[in-house]
Amino acid sequence: MSKEKVLCIICARAGSKRLKNKNFKSLFGKPLVYHTIRQAINSKIFDKIIFSTDSNKLRKMAVNFGAYSWFARPQKLSNDKAAKMPVIRHATLEAEKKFGYKFDYICDLDVTSPLRKVSDIKNAFRKLKLSKQDMLISGNKARKNPYFNMVQKNGKNSLKLVIKPKKFYVRTQDAPIVYELNASIYFWKREACFKQKGPFCKKTFFYEMAYERSIDIDNLSDFKLVEFFGKNENKL
Protein backbone atom coordinates (compact mmCIF):
# COMPACT_ATOMS: atom_id res chain seq x y z
CA MET A 1 0.00 0.00 0.00
CA SER A 2 1.44 3.36 -0.99
CA LYS A 3 2.29 5.97 1.63
CA GLU A 4 -0.34 8.63 2.25
CA LYS A 5 0.55 11.97 0.68
CA VAL A 6 0.50 14.98 3.00
CA LEU A 7 0.53 18.56 1.75
CA CYS A 8 1.49 21.56 3.88
CA ILE A 9 0.21 24.98 2.83
CA ILE A 10 1.66 28.15 4.34
CA CYS A 11 -0.11 31.37 3.44
CA ALA A 12 1.02 34.97 3.75
CA ARG A 13 0.01 38.10 1.88
CA ALA A 14 1.75 41.42 1.49
CA GLY A 15 -0.88 43.64 3.08
CA SER A 16 -1.64 43.95 6.78
CA LYS A 17 -3.75 46.71 8.26
CA ARG A 18 -3.23 46.36 12.01
CA LEU A 19 0.52 45.61 11.97
CA LYS A 20 2.08 46.95 8.81
CA ASN A 21 4.27 44.50 6.87
CA LYS A 22 4.05 41.96 9.69
CA ASN A 23 5.00 39.03 7.47
CA PHE A 24 8.30 40.75 6.67
CA LYS A 25 9.12 41.63 10.28
CA SER A 26 12.25 40.17 11.83
CA LEU A 27 11.66 37.73 14.67
CA PHE A 28 14.65 36.22 16.47
CA GLY A 29 16.87 37.43 13.66
CA LYS A 30 14.84 35.88 10.83
CA PRO A 31 11.79 37.03 8.81
CA LEU A 32 8.52 35.92 10.37
CA VAL A 33 7.75 33.51 7.50
CA TYR A 34 11.01 31.62 8.10
CA HIS A 35 9.93 30.04 11.38
CA THR A 36 6.80 28.27 10.12
CA ILE A 37 8.57 27.00 6.99
CA ARG A 38 11.40 25.53 9.05
CA GLN A 39 8.96 23.93 11.49
CA ALA A 40 7.15 22.28 8.59
CA ILE A 41 10.42 21.00 7.11
CA ASN A 42 11.72 19.74 10.45
CA SER A 43 8.49 17.84 11.18
CA LYS A 44 9.37 15.46 8.31
CA ILE A 45 5.72 14.52 7.78
CA PHE A 46 5.02 16.52 4.61
CA ASP A 47 5.59 15.33 1.06
CA LYS A 48 5.40 18.90 -0.21
CA ILE A 49 5.45 22.29 1.50
CA ILE A 50 4.02 25.09 -0.59
CA PHE A 51 3.71 28.81 0.02
CA SER A 52 0.68 30.78 -1.18
CA THR A 53 1.12 34.53 -1.53
CA ASP A 54 0.36 37.58 -3.64
CA SER A 55 3.85 38.99 -3.02
CA ASN A 56 6.87 38.31 -5.25
CA LYS A 57 9.16 39.30 -2.40
CA LEU A 58 7.56 36.83 0.03
CA ARG A 59 7.58 34.14 -2.66
CA LYS A 60 11.34 34.51 -3.19
CA MET A 61 11.92 34.40 0.58
CA ALA A 62 9.81 31.25 0.95
CA VAL A 63 11.69 29.44 -1.83
CA ASN A 64 14.99 30.48 -0.28
CA PHE A 65 13.85 29.01 3.05
CA GLY A 66 12.88 25.67 1.49
CA ALA A 67 9.22 25.87 0.38
CA TYR A 68 7.77 25.53 -3.10
CA SER A 69 6.18 28.71 -4.42
CA TRP A 70 5.50 29.25 -8.10
CA PHE A 71 1.96 30.59 -8.51
CA ALA A 72 0.43 33.97 -7.78
CA ARG A 73 -2.57 33.93 -5.48
CA PRO A 74 -5.53 35.60 -7.26
CA GLN A 75 -6.37 39.11 -6.14
CA LYS A 76 -9.84 38.08 -5.00
CA LEU A 77 -8.18 35.67 -2.55
CA SER A 78 -5.61 38.21 -1.35
CA ASN A 79 -7.62 40.96 0.31
CA ASP A 80 -8.38 41.23 4.01
CA LYS A 81 -11.92 39.91 3.47
CA ALA A 82 -10.87 36.67 1.77
CA ALA A 83 -11.92 33.52 3.63
CA LYS A 84 -9.41 30.80 4.48
CA MET A 85 -10.98 27.80 2.77
CA PRO A 86 -10.99 29.15 -0.83
CA VAL A 87 -7.30 30.02 -0.41
CA ILE A 88 -6.49 26.51 0.86
CA ARG A 89 -8.45 24.84 -1.93
CA HIS A 90 -6.84 27.02 -4.59
CA ALA A 91 -3.35 26.18 -3.32
CA THR A 92 -4.19 22.47 -3.12
CA LEU A 93 -5.36 22.36 -6.72
CA GLU A 94 -2.28 24.27 -7.86
CA ALA A 95 -0.06 21.76 -6.05
CA GLU A 96 -1.87 18.74 -7.45
CA LYS A 97 -1.64 20.15 -10.97
CA LYS A 98 2.10 20.76 -10.60
CA PHE A 99 3.08 17.48 -8.92
CA GLY A 100 0.65 15.24 -10.77
CA TYR A 101 -1.15 13.48 -7.92
CA LYS A 102 -3.78 14.09 -5.26
CA PHE A 103 -2.92 14.49 -1.61
CA ASP A 104 -4.60 12.50 1.15
CA TYR A 105 -4.17 15.08 3.90
CA ILE A 106 -3.85 18.86 3.80
CA CYS A 107 -2.31 21.00 6.53
CA ASP A 108 -2.40 24.76 6.98
CA LEU A 109 0.18 26.40 9.24
CA ASP A 110 -0.29 30.12 9.85
CA VAL A 111 2.90 32.19 9.76
CA THR A 112 1.45 34.47 12.44
CA SER A 113 1.60 31.67 15.05
CA PRO A 114 5.36 31.03 15.14
CA LEU A 115 5.64 29.62 18.68
CA ARG A 116 4.23 26.18 17.87
CA LYS A 117 6.75 23.40 18.28
CA VAL A 118 7.64 20.80 15.68
CA SER A 119 6.24 18.25 18.14
CA ASP A 120 2.88 20.05 18.02
CA ILE A 121 2.66 19.49 14.26
CA LYS A 122 3.67 15.83 14.54
CA ASN A 123 1.39 15.12 17.51
CA ALA A 124 -1.56 16.89 15.90
CA PHE A 125 -1.27 14.81 12.74
CA ARG A 126 -0.87 11.58 14.71
CA LYS A 127 -3.92 12.37 16.84
CA LEU A 128 -6.04 13.22 13.80
CA LYS A 129 -5.25 9.84 12.25
CA LEU A 130 -5.91 7.98 15.51
CA SER A 131 -9.19 9.85 16.07
CA LYS A 132 -10.52 8.96 12.61
CA GLN A 133 -11.98 12.46 12.38
CA ASP A 134 -12.09 14.49 9.16
CA MET A 135 -10.43 17.64 10.48
CA LEU A 136 -8.19 18.88 13.27
CA ILE A 137 -7.96 22.41 14.61
CA SER A 138 -5.72 23.76 17.37
CA GLY A 139 -6.44 26.09 20.25
CA ASN A 140 -5.91 26.79 23.92
CA LYS A 141 -7.97 27.27 27.06
CA ALA A 142 -9.58 30.70 26.86
CA ARG A 143 -8.50 33.33 29.36
CA LYS A 144 -12.01 34.82 29.43
CA ASN A 145 -15.25 32.91 29.77
CA PRO A 146 -18.56 33.83 28.07
CA TYR A 147 -20.46 32.23 30.97
CA PHE A 148 -18.67 34.38 33.56
CA ASN A 149 -16.78 37.50 32.46
CA MET A 150 -17.49 38.19 28.80
CA VAL A 151 -20.33 40.62 28.12
CA GLN A 152 -22.03 42.40 25.25
CA LYS A 153 -24.01 45.61 25.25
CA ASN A 154 -27.71 45.11 25.77
CA GLY A 155 -29.09 48.46 24.80
CA LYS A 156 -27.50 51.82 25.52
CA ASN A 157 -26.88 51.50 29.25
CA SER A 158 -27.01 47.79 29.95
CA LEU A 159 -24.82 44.70 29.64
CA LYS A 160 -25.49 40.99 29.46
CA LEU A 161 -23.30 37.90 29.52
CA VAL A 162 -22.43 36.54 26.09
CA ILE A 163 -23.95 33.20 27.14
CA LYS A 164 -26.68 33.25 29.76
CA PRO A 165 -25.98 30.33 32.10
CA LYS A 166 -28.69 28.24 33.72
CA LYS A 167 -27.16 29.30 37.01
CA PHE A 168 -24.79 32.16 37.81
CA TYR A 169 -21.23 31.22 38.63
CA VAL A 170 -19.34 32.99 41.41
CA ARG A 171 -15.94 31.65 40.33
CA THR A 172 -14.60 31.33 36.79
CA GLN A 173 -13.27 27.85 37.54
CA ASP A 174 -16.83 26.67 38.17
CA ALA A 175 -18.03 27.76 34.71
CA PRO A 176 -17.84 25.39 31.72
CA ILE A 177 -14.34 25.25 30.21
CA VAL A 178 -14.15 27.08 26.90
CA TYR A 179 -11.37 27.30 24.34
CA GLU A 180 -10.14 29.85 21.83
CA LEU A 181 -8.77 28.91 18.44
CA ASN A 182 -5.14 29.92 18.03
CA ALA A 183 -4.78 29.86 14.22
CA SER A 184 -1.73 27.62 14.53
CA ILE A 185 -2.46 24.17 13.07
CA TYR A 186 -5.21 22.91 10.76
CA PHE A 187 -5.40 19.44 9.21
CA TRP A 188 -8.03 18.05 6.85
CA LYS A 189 -8.63 14.87 4.98
CA ARG A 190 -8.71 16.02 1.37
CA GLU A 191 -12.34 15.14 0.76
CA ALA A 192 -13.42 16.98 3.91
CA CYS A 193 -11.41 20.04 2.91
CA PHE A 194 -13.29 20.39 -0.34
CA LYS A 195 -16.73 19.64 1.14
CA GLN A 196 -16.48 21.79 4.27
CA LYS A 197 -19.03 24.62 4.30
CA GLY A 198 -18.60 26.19 7.74
CA PRO A 199 -15.57 26.75 9.98
CA PHE A 200 -15.59 23.10 11.12
CA CYS A 201 -16.40 19.68 9.79
CA LYS A 202 -18.95 17.56 11.62
CA LYS A 203 -16.11 15.29 12.71
CA THR A 204 -13.48 17.71 14.04
CA PHE A 205 -10.72 16.87 16.53
CA PHE A 206 -9.47 19.61 18.86
CA TYR A 207 -5.75 19.77 19.59
CA GLU A 208 -5.00 21.70 22.77
CA MET A 209 -1.85 23.80 23.08
CA ALA A 210 -0.47 25.89 25.93
CA TYR A 211 -1.25 29.60 25.82
CA GLU A 212 2.48 30.40 25.65
CA ARG A 213 2.67 28.59 22.27
CA SER A 214 -0.63 29.96 20.98
CA ILE A 215 -0.03 33.68 20.41
CA ASP A 216 -1.40 34.71 17.01
CA ILE A 217 0.26 37.92 15.81
CA ASP A 218 -2.41 40.44 14.87
CA ASN A 219 -0.94 43.66 16.28
CA LEU A 220 2.23 45.06 17.84
CA SER A 221 1.27 43.87 21.34
CA ASP A 222 0.96 40.30 20.05
CA PHE A 223 4.34 40.59 18.37
CA LYS A 224 5.96 41.71 21.62
CA LEU A 225 4.32 38.81 23.46
CA VAL A 226 5.76 36.37 20.93
CA GLU A 227 9.20 37.89 21.45
CA PHE A 228 8.77 37.60 25.23
CA PHE A 229 7.60 33.97 25.29
CA GLY A 230 10.00 32.84 22.60
CA LYS A 231 13.21 34.51 23.70
CA ASN A 232 14.33 31.60 25.88
CA GLU A 233 13.22 28.84 23.51
CA ASN A 234 15.56 27.10 21.09
CA LYS A 235 14.98 28.77 17.74
CA LEU A 236 14.68 26.77 14.55
Q: What is the pLDDT of residues 209-235, one digit of tens each?
A: 999 999 999 999 999 999 999 886 654
Cβ atoms of 225 and 112 closer than 8 Å? no
Give me the amino acid identity at 215. I
Pairwise CA distance, residues 177 & 15, whole Å: 35
Pairwise CA distance, residues 10 & 35, whole Å: 11
Task: Give all domains of the chain, ordered by start, each with its CATH number.
Answer: 6-141+179-230 (3.90.550.10), 143-177 (no CATH)
Q: What is the pLDDT of residues 135-179, one digit of tens each?
A: 999 999 998 888 888 888 887 778 888 888 888 877 888 888 899
What region does 111 belong to: left with phi over 0, alpha with psi -120 to 50, or beta? alpha
pLDDT at 147: 82
For the segment 192-218, the average pLDDT, to the nearest whole number, is: 90
Q: What is the pLDDT of residues 19-33, one digit of tens each?
A: 888 899 999 999 999
pLDDT at 161: 84
For the segment 30-41, the average pLDDT, to the nearest whole number, is: 96
The Cα-based distances of 50 to 11, 41, 126, 150, 166 in angstroms read 9, 11, 21, 39, 48
Cβ atoms of 33 and 111 closer than 8 Å? yes
pLDDT at 46: 98
What distance separates the 2 farthest-apart alpha carbons in the chain? 65
Q: Which residues of 207-225 are buried (b: 16+ CB within 10 A; e: fewer)?
A: bebeeebbbbbeeeebbeb
Pairwise CA distance, residues 64 & 197, whole Å: 35
